[in-house]
Structure formats: structure tokens, C-alpha cells
Amino acid sequence: MSDTAERTSASVGGPPGGPVGGAPRGPLRRAAVLFMQQREATVFLVVVLLIVYFGFISPLGRATFFTKLDLINVSQIAGPIIIIAIGEVFLLICGEIDLSVGFTYTFAPFLMHYLIDFYGVPGIPAILISLAMGLAVGWVNGFLTVTVGLPSFVTTLGTGFALQGIMLITSHAEQSAIPVQVQGIGHWIGTFAWAEFGWAVFFAFVFHLVLRRTRWGLHTIAVGGNQLGAQEAGVNAARIKYGNFMLTATLGAFVGIQVAFQTSVIDPSSGGYTPMFYSVAAAVIGGTAMLGGSGTVIGAFLGSIMLAVLTDGFNVIGVSANPLPLIFGAAILLAMVANVQFARLRERGRAL
């Protein structure tokens, strides 16, 4: 976000006909224009409106939405979506997608459980190996997509099913308890009420910087924006894609372990396509282009919060969960339309 702001302020005062022209009069007007020039402004407004609606306008929501319990609830819904969405943002920007991340999510806590209970691996190494499994899955996704040349949509569809199969075979589709050895560290990873959101904010902060301020982020955008061109300039596109597949799968494994701790059970029905689609939706709502080349972590963060507020808000005001998918669908489409329209407005704002 700050990047755009910087660019804007830096180019003010350029010669007429430049991309940024006359500064609007008045600090308020100027602030408003600056705000609207941010890609994430739309989502931010929607989130604020939703919170206002559920927290202040709806009579039922007024009583419950701002209670501690409910805020924790929203944060726990949002946290996992945010963390996975961060990975998807990096992948979508460089022109790929990971549909398998939800199954890495499901399998990771099982692997941790097998390692500890069947192979006597101590708690923390078991968690680390489970995260490394995420790295391995990401590498396989990268290999099949980049080196073999399958579309990532197909690759990750396949690896997702395969992972689900491995998980079901090894677990006999039965739940498992959290091993005692990791319950201590589990508190900080996922059991503690604000753990999900805390980690999500931490990851969002770190990866926002990675995307906006490091070579890795720059090359990710370059590969998604013009892969051939980036390669001609010497960027190793394969390395970028492998890395982002590995990032996404590892974040997925982390979230799987986290949610297992939070729910105090390792569940074969947790994860799957739902969190993956939520996170892709969050990324898209937050302004990430499906065709690659652009997207922001902040946008995905806000998109995740928007989905979480919607989910929780409808709960709070007592509407049945059935219309929720319909609302999500509408929200995604509206967000896309708004993004396209606002992009045009922003262009015009710059041209003025």
C-alpha cells in the first residue's frame, strides 16, 4: 500500500501531461484522493460498512458483535484464511494457483501425530518435519508445473486428491487426539484464543514487506507480469515459481497444525477445498489479478476479514447459514466489478 502512496507523492509536480497532475485543493480532499488511489480502498470500505452494519445497526448484532467472544470468533475465522491467502497471493501474482493447499492443511497435523505417536519423534521436530512436508508438496507442485509443464490448476488438483487419499488411508478417516508432547507449544501456535490472528498479522506484515520491498517480491511480480520478458532480463522464473509453491504449501501445513491445536482434535474433514477457496476468494476480493502481475497482501488480509465478518455477522444476527454462499458469490463478483471500476476511476484521478 505504502508503495503506491510513495509513487504518487514522488511523482506529484511532474510536468503537465505526466501521470500525476494537479494536486487537489485542501488536505481533506487530497487525503481522500490518496486513499481512493489505494487498490485496497474498496475492500477496506466494505469491511468498515459491514462492521458498522453488524455492530451498530442490526439490533441483534448490536448486543453481541463487539463482545470479546465474538471478536475472537471473527479473528479465528479470519486468521487461517489470511495465512493461506498470503501464499495464494504470491502464486496468483506469478501466474499460478495452488488448489491442493487445503489438503496439505489436512495432512500436516496427521503427519505430526504419526511422527510423535508411532515413530517417537519429539514434539518440536515433529512439527518442523510436518512443515517440511509442506515444502516437499510445494516442490512437487513446482516440479510438475514448471519443469514438467502442466498447468498449475491441473497439477494441484492432482496433488490435492493424492494428499487427501494418503491422509484417508493412513488415518482410516478417523479423528486423532493432539499428542500430549506438543500441547505446550500448541498453546502458542493455535490454542491461545488470539493465536490465529496474531500469527496472521505477523505473516501478513512480513510477507507484505517481502512482496513490496524485496527482490523476491519484485521478481514474483515481474514473472507474473511478463514471464518471457523477465526471463530475457535474466530472472529465473522457475526458481520464483518453485519458491512460491513451497511457500504456499508450507503456510497451508502451518495453518492445518494451528487449527488442529485450536479445535483440540486432528480431523480428516478439516481443511480441504473450503479454506483454499476462501483464501483465493479473499485474494481476489483484495484486488489480486487472476492473470498475474498484480496483487497485495494487505488486500488479501482485508478480503479475509471481509469474509470472516460476513460469516460471523450472519451468525450473530441469527440468519441461517444457507444463504451465506450466495452472499459470498455476490461479494466476490461485486468486489471484482468494483475493482475494475475503481481502477478506471483511479486512472482518471491520476490523469486529472
* Residues at the site binding other proteins, with contacts judged by CB under 8 A: 6-7, 10-11, 14-15, 17-20, 209, 213-215, 218-219, 221-222, 224-226, 228-230, 232-235, 293-294
Give the residue from 79, 71, 84, 76 showing the smallest Cα distance to 281: 84
Question: What residues contact 208, with CB distance under 8 A and at least 6 apart?
Answer: 296, 297, 298
Kindly report the CA angle at 252 between 250 and 258, in degrees rounded to 5?
Answer: 105
Question: Minimum distance from CB of 6 to other proteins (Å)?
Answer: 8
Q: How far is the CB of 215 from other proteins (least distance, A)?
A: 5
| Nearer CB in complex with other proteins: 48/206 | 206
User: Which CB sits closer to other proteins, 8 or 263?
Assistant: 8
Nearest CB to other proteins, comparing residues 109 and 292: 292
Looking at beta carbons only, is 187 or 215 nearer to other proteins?
Answer: 215
Is 23 or 124 the residue whose CB approaches other proteins more closely?
Answer: 23
On whether the CB atoms of residues 199 and 262 are closer than 8 A, the answer is no
267: helix, strand or coil: coil
The C-alpha atoms of residue 343 and residue 271 are separated, in whole angstroms, by 34
Q: Least distance to other proteins from the beta carbon of 32, Å?
A: 21
Give the sign of the dihedral formed by CA 62, CA 66, CA 69, CA 71. Answer: positive
CA-to-CA distance for 257 and 270, rounded, in angstroms?
Answer: 11
Q: How far is the CB of 201 from other proteins (least distance, A)?
A: 20
CB of 213 to other proteins, least distance (A): 4
> 280, 97 in Cβ contact below 8 A?
yes
